[in-house]
Amino acid sequence: MAAVWDDLVEFFFNADPGYMLVESCPATLYRRVYGTTRLFMMQNSWNCNLWGEKRLATPGVIIDGTLRTTRLTELNAGIEEFTDKAILEQWRHARVKTDPSGGALSPLHPWNKRLNHRSGEDASFKQTHPNASPRWDRELLETGPMARLWVTALGGKLKNEFIHTFRNVNGAGLEINLPQIPTAGDKTQMGCPVRPNALERNLARAYHIAYSGMIALTYLLKAFDCLQRRETAMSVPYRVPQQSIGAGFWEDGQGILTHHTMIVDGRLFNYQIVAPSDWMGSAHTPSGRPGPYEQAIINTPLLEQFKSPEEFTGIDILRAIRSFDP
């Protein structure tokens, strides 16, 4: 699949370099932890930065092509949600002012979020978006398979027998070694693109099939090792704390999916989710910057050939939006 998409992308770029500009955005990407990762922060104990960077897809944020951080504490603390264009009221009270490691949090952090709809005089035609608009360090970010692979490549922290990061004169990338099961093994390489565009997103999604397959094989082999050692337990005892705060760092097919929770008196007090569609489909923030979907349409040139409005199909706009897998 990856090899086929390599040929397709090269064909389109050679046929018309304008395809490089279909939804061409700044290299500003967001990536959370891959797979079944969860975290509960108990009082002042929070070692997530250590195990976060050991995950089989590195967490991190890329701003304008530069890796800003791979620390989960910084990724969590940088999240804010704005409601200027949303049908939600802006919450005012910051119940949580610091994270368990002592880092300062914005009043707009999901731990402080309250879902109250605007009503009466506060509601107007300007507030039409159903959700708040998340940003990280006030930056507009994109998430998804391309972000996962790009952050992992630039991070250079991955340790896996099948997947390796590399750097050469052309930049950073990933080498995926396919095992000799059942035929001869092979390897494929993906380099980081100069900037995101529609075809590069589709190419990354194809490479992510190979990447995910090798991650699945890694855990299958670990499961076999556990069975050989007769380690067959499927769960461990857990007691819900009386007071705690927590965050779950997950991903689905579209990208980052985070859960932010508070427990008070042994009960769930606040539970907020920030989904990939919240990031990608977000509205304008106070700075006036649109979300990735809207920015994609703004940045897309019309390469389609047509002589009249009736002949126009909007295929270039469709390519841009579909590349996000909405």
SS in 3 state form for 130-155? CCCEEEECCECCECCHHHHHHHHHHH
To 5 degrees, how large is the angle CA 78–CA 81–CA 83?
155
Amino acid type, 310: E
Number of domains present in the structure of the chain = 1
Q: How far is CA 54 from CA 10, 41, 118, 160, 318, in A?
A: 34, 18, 43, 10, 37
pLDDT per residue as tens, the chain (326 positions): 777 777 777 777 777 777 776 666 555 544 433 323 334 444 344 678 888 888 898 999 998 888 999 998 899 999 999 887 777 777 777 889 998 888 899 999 999 998 777 665 555 555 567 788 899 998 888 899 999 999 999 999 999 999 999 998 888 999 999 887 666 567 888 888 777 888 888 899 999 999 999 999 999 999 999 999 999 998 889 888 898 888 888 888 888 899 999 999 999 999 999 999 899 888 887 778 888 888 888 888 888 888 898 888 888 888 888 888 75
Query: Which residues constitute the domain of residue 318?
Result: 2-322
Q: Indicate the pTM of the whole model.
A: 0.84
CATH code, 226:
1.10.645.10
Other CB atoms within 10 A of residue 76 CB: 26
